[in-house]
Amino acid sequence: MLSEQSAATVRATLPAVGGAIGVITERFYDRLFAAHPELLRDLFNRGNQAAGTQRQALAGSIAAFATYLVEHPDERPDAMLARVAHKHASLGVAPGQYETVREHLFAAIAEVLGDAATAEVAAAWDEVYWLMANALIAIEARLYAERGIAAGAAAWREWEVVERVEETPDVATFRLRPADGAPAPAFRPGQYVSVQVRLPDGARQIRQYSLSGAPGAGVRQISVKRVRAARAAGAGGDSGVRTTGPRRDSGVRDAEYGAATAEYAPDGEVSTHLHAHIREGDRLRLSAPYGDLVLDGRTGGATDTTPLLLASAGIGVTPMIAMLEHLAGTGHPAPVTVVHADRSPADHALRADHLAYTGKLPDAAAHFWYEHPEPGHPADRTGRVDLAGVEVAPGTRAYLCGPVPFMKAVRGRLIAKGVAPADIHYEVFGPDLWRASPMSSGPVGEATTSSTVTGSSEA
C-alpha cells in the first residue's frame, strides 16, 4: 500500500490539499475539457458538470481515499472502489484514460498549490493516485472479463424497443431485447445499464438506468423519469422522513435532480430525449448490467431466513421493484418490509407492481407515504416517512434508494431500531454527495460511495 515516506507527506499536506481540492477539481475539468472536448460531449454527464455536483463528488472521493490510506496504511477501501469501478465499466472506461486524467489533475494541483507542490509532495500524491487508479483498472478488467467484453466501443450493444408503457405522466418503461437476436445478458436484481443516445447537437450522452424487472426473461426493462427544469433542491433539503415539526415536502425532488447545488436545474438531456423520441421499434445502445447494490447471492428461495427491508423514494423505486419481483418469484419466506415515499399515488411509478409483488410474498407488508394522498389514505402514512410504527425484524438487511437526505434519515432510524450498520446498503442516482467529504457521516464500509470521475446519472 502507501509507502511510509509518502504516507507522512500525504498526512502533512492533506489539510492543504483538502482545503483546495474544490479549486483543484475545477481547474482539472477546465483543463481536461479544453484538451479533450470529446470527453464532455460523449462521456461526461454535461448536466452534472454544469451543476457542479460531479466536481464536488470527485473532490470528495480523492480526499476520502487519501484519508483512508493514511488512517489505514495496511488496507484499501475495496468497497468504495468496487462501486466506482462498476460505474466506470458501465461507461466503457479504458485503462489509458487514467493517464489522461492524471496529466490534467496534476497540472491543476501544481497550478493551485504553486510552490507548495514540491517534487516530494507531487511524488506522494502521484502514489496515492496510482494506487487508486491501478486498483480501479484491475477491478474494471475483471468486470469486463466476466461479461466477455472489452473496454471502449466494444462495451456497447444495440437493443430494440419492443414496448413502451406510460407508467405516470413523467415515467415511461421501455422494454428491450438485443437487436442481434442473441440472448440477453444475465444480471442481478438491483443492477443498472448505461444508455447512450445521440442528441440533436451530435453529442452521445450516457446515463444509467436501473433494470426495473427481475432477471430471467429474454426482455429487459428500464423505467425512465423525465427530469423537468426546476430550481434545484440542495443536498440539505428535506429528507422525506418524519422527525418533528410540521409536514413538508416528501423529498422526492432530490431523487429526480440528485443533490444539485446550482440554482437552476435544466431539463434532463437524455431522459427528455427518451420520452420525446423513443418508441416501439427504435434502437438504443446499452451497456452490460453493472452495479453492486444487489441482493446477496444467498437471498431468495424457500430456505432463506433473512428478513429484508426495501426503502425507496420517487424514482428510487426502480431497483427495488426488480428485487421485489425476484423475491416473489423465488418464494422468499422471511419477512419483507416495503417502504416508499412519493408525492401522490399518481406519481408513484410501478405502484401496481409494488403492491402485486408484495402480495405474492408469504410474510410481507407495504407501507406507502404520500405528500398528496387519495381520500381515505391513512393519516399516519401522509407526508414524510415515519418508521416509528413499522416493525423491523431482528437481523434485517436493508436496501435504500432515493434522495440522499431520505436515505440518511432512514438509515438513522434503522440503526436506532437495532439494524446493524453493515446490513444497510444504498444507491445514489447521480454523483454521491453523501460521501463527497471525508467528514461525511456516510460509512465507507457498509454503504459505499458511487462518486466517479464521469458522474453519469439518470437525467
Supply the DSSP string of 271-314, one letter for each residue: HHHHHHH--TT-EEEE---B-S----TT-SSTT----EEEEEEG
Read off the C-alpha cell for 255.
Answer: 431523487
Question: What is the structure's pLDDT at 250?
Answer: 32
**pLDDT band at 177; cut points 50, 70, 90:** very high
Considering only 139-153, 207-221, 236-250, 359-373, which range has the smallest mean pLDDT?
Answer: 236-250
Is 257's pLDDT higher than 50?
no
Which is catalytic among the residues 29, 98, 357, 426? 98
Q: Which three cell numbers stand for residue 388?
A: 416509528
Which of 80-84, 153-157, 174-178, 350-354 is predicted least confidently? 80-84
pTM above 0.85, yes or no: yes
**Facing residues of 341 across strands?**
313, 369
Q: For residue 238, name the pLDDT band (cuts at 50, 70, 90).
A: very low
Q: What's the CA gap between 109 and 168, in Å, rounded? A: 47
Please give the helix or strand (H or E) that residue 221 lies within, else none.
Answer: strand 220-225
State the pLDDT at residue 353: 98
Residue 457 banded pLDDT, cuts 50, 70, 90: low
Question: What is the pLDDT confidence band of residue 60, given thresholds at 50, 70 and 90?
Answer: confident
Predicted confidence at residue 423, as pLDDT, reads 95
Strand stretches in 289-410, DSSP E: 308-313, 336-342, 364-370, 397-401
Q: Where in the chain is the domain with CATH 3.40.50.80?
A: 308-435
Q: For this structure, is 120 an active site residue?
A: no
For residue 297, pLDDT beyond 90: no
Q: What is the mean pLDDT of the segment spanning 75-100?
A: 93
In angstroms, what CA-CA distances link 20 with 7, 119, 199?
19, 18, 35
CA–CA distance, 426 with 256 (Å, rounded to integer): 16
pLDDT computed for residue 53 by the predictor: 77
152-186 in b/e form (b: 16+ CB < 10 A) is eeebbbebbbeebeebbebbbbbbbbbeeeeebbe
Q: Residue 231 — very low, low, confident or very high, per pLDDT cuts 50/70/90?
A: low
Q: Contact, 330 vs 301, CB < 8 A?
A: yes
Question: CATH 1.10.490.10 residue ranges in the chain?
Answer: 4-147
pLDDT of 186 strictly over 80: yes
Percent residues over pLDDT 90 in the chain: 73
The torsion of the CA quartet 452, 314, 307, 382, rounded to 10 degrees, works out to 140
Structure confidence at residue 245 as a pLDDT band (50, 70, 90): very low
* In CATH, 152-286 is 3.40.50.740: no
Give me the mean pLDDT over the 328-333 stretch.
94
Cβ-contact 312, 339 below 8 angstroms: yes
Choice between 229 and 39, residue whose per-residue pLDDT is larger:
39
Q: Regarding the domain delimited by 308-435, which CATH topology (the fold level of the hierarchy) does it fall under?
A: Rossmann fold (3.40.50)
Q: Identify the pLDDT of residue 458.
A: 66
Q: Of all residues in the chain, what percent carry a pLDDT higher than 70? A: 85
Query: What's the grid cell of residue 150?
Result: 472489452
Min mean pLDDT across 60-74, 150-164, 229-243, 432-446 is at 432-446
Annotated catalytic residue: which of 29, 127, 129, 140?
140
Which residues on neighbouring strands pair with residue 192, listed in sequence order? 210, 290
Residue extent(s) of CATH 2.40.30.10 domains in the chain: 152-286
Half-sphere exposure of 404 (CA within 13 A, CB side): 25
Active-site residue, 140 included = yes
Q: Which helix (H) or strand (E) holds 168?
A: strand 157-168
- Model confidence over 189-199: pLDDT tens digits? 999 999 999 99
Q: C-alpha distances in angstroms, 208 versus 95, 147, 289, 428? A: 21, 18, 10, 11
Contact 265, 49 (CB under 8 A): no
Average pLDDT in the chain: 86
Q: Tell me the pLDDT tens digit for each residue of 383-439.
A: 999 999 999 999 999 999 999 999 999 999 999 999 999 999 998 765 554 444 433
Side-chain half-sphere of 359: how many Cα atoms within 13 Å?
Answer: 6
Number of H helices, E strands in the chain: 12, 11
Return the exposure string of 369-401: e unless at least 16 CB atoms fall within 10 Å of the residue's CB, then b. bbbebeeeeeeeebbbbbbeebebbeebbbbbb
Q: What is the pLDDT of residues 161-176, one digit of tens each?
A: 999 999 999 999 999 9
Q: Which of 30-44, 75-89, 172-186, 254-268 has the lowest mean pLDDT?
A: 254-268
265 pLDDT band, cuts 50/70/90, is low
pLDDT tens-digit profile of 104-127? 999 999 999 999 999 999 999 999
Question: At the fourth CATH level, which superfamily is domain 4-147?
Answer: Globins (1.10.490.10)
